[in-house]
Structure 1
């Protein structure tokens, strides 16, 4: 807001008063700088998505910032559907904070992280960005707790936790990745990923990951120097 942006902060209705209070603390310049508003947004409501998109205009949001938004596998599709509904060709949708496995992971269950990674390319071109501390300071996750994340990150020296803690950029299919971005991993729209349940045999584990009907090849450049 201090740079002149028009900001709409969203959450569930019962949390809006607290959010409004926090935004007021950052509104030192009043109307001379940016402007802000709070609004309720139910990710599972088509009506709510259409209403907010109407406020944003035909081109959608210039930028979307989402942090620690996905806390269960049942929220993944509705969260991504909401970001998709609010995006336009030039929108920068940035998010971070997927629970690091084994958080909220029951026995014989697919992790939230693997569910998230499998769903993302159904909506967007996806880029894991190189940002200071974003990957280097990632937590620790066992390979067997998130086999899809481990398989995707392995060729590039990335742990499953790095894919959970890192900053992701989502762009509508066919939109250009901005020149300033430094992706260390890219997953193209239409890449079909499926993470099967872990199967244990004694102390050994076997992850079964199928890359089904690749409509676009999984792409990734070299690590930036």
Structure 2
């Protein structure tokens, strides 16, 4: 479904905005100057919120966790769908995140919390686990969370540590900058590390025929030489399915702990089994 965005008369990256996902109307306040990338809504967070609104999964009563929440768009959408939400980010982002979630708190909404989470901090992770159910969150969402190759394993380790056998861990949005001096791209670093942590599924997106996510089906018609030069692993893995490296980076990924079943409604376009699977 096309995203219809109603913007007030503010600067492009400042002010209150509305985002429509089917019947959901999510409000955000954006402020790039004060909160940098955490202060603006990214395309990946819109894609992930739209996916959550359209997928045949009932979020009502679920405990969901968001990593790197920023403006809290995904968390706010899930809150309106009846989920109990814990939205996390670095401590300095929390006032901005808390305000955005308060914009979407409504009568009948479940409880919500914001929590500081530095992926490298064991104390942060322990404090978060204390607020979660003993067997992990029902779902974990992450949009635009990995910005460098050095953070890939820390991100996956955090995601794994917060997951349980039933957890749906969902990620969208990996930058694909050129590799420098022979280094691999971020998407290649991620794809190489995933089998050590999860069974991974690149998902077919329901109802999406056009736009960025639609490229998942049409990518075979546009072979980008930059994909091959900068992301050879992503190009190799996606090539058999007619998918470019950019399609793998922009898609919705589902991660499950090794041996945990994939939901019956999921339609994977690409499966990467764990090395223990």
Query: Which range, TM-score by smaller chain?
Result: 0.7 to 0.9
The answer to which structure, 1 or 2, has the higher relative contact order (CA under 8 A, 6+ apart) is: 1
Report Cα offsets for 1:11-59 as digits up to 9, x if no partner: 0000000000110110022xx3211110000101222222212211211
Secondary structure at the counterpart of residue 142 of structure 1: helix
Alpha-carbon RMSD: 1.6
Runs (4+) of structure 1 moved beyond 3 Å? Answer: 137-141
Structure 2 gaps of 5+ residues are: 1-78
Structure 2 counterpart of 1:125, from 199, 203, 210: 199
How far is the alpha carbon of 1:143 from its aligned partner? 1.1
Secondary structure at the counterpart of residue 159 of structure 2: helix
Secondary structure at the counterpart of residue 78 of structure 1: helix
Superposition map of 1:131-146 within 5 A: 131=205, 132=208, 133=211, 135-137=213-215, 141-146=226-231
Please name the residue that 2:164 is paired with.
88
How far is the alpha carbon of 1:3 from its aligned partner? 2.7
Structure 2 counterpart of 1:106, from 180, 184, 187: 180
2:148, 2:140 → 1: CA distance?
Answer: 21
Structure having the larger proportion of residues in helix: 2
How far is the alpha carbon of 1:106 from its aligned partner? 1.9
Q: Residues 148, 166 of structure 1: CA spacing in aligned structure 2 closer, same or farther, 3 A cutoff? A: same
1:143, 1:62 → 2: CA distance?
Answer: 37
2:109, 2:145 → 1: CA distance?
Answer: 28
| TM-score normalized by the length of structure 1 | 0.79
1:91, 1:111 → 2: CA distance?
Answer: 28
1:11 and 1:41 in contact (8 A); partners too: yes
Please name the residue that 2:89 is paired with.
11
Structure 1 counterpart of 2:128, from 32, 43, 52: 52
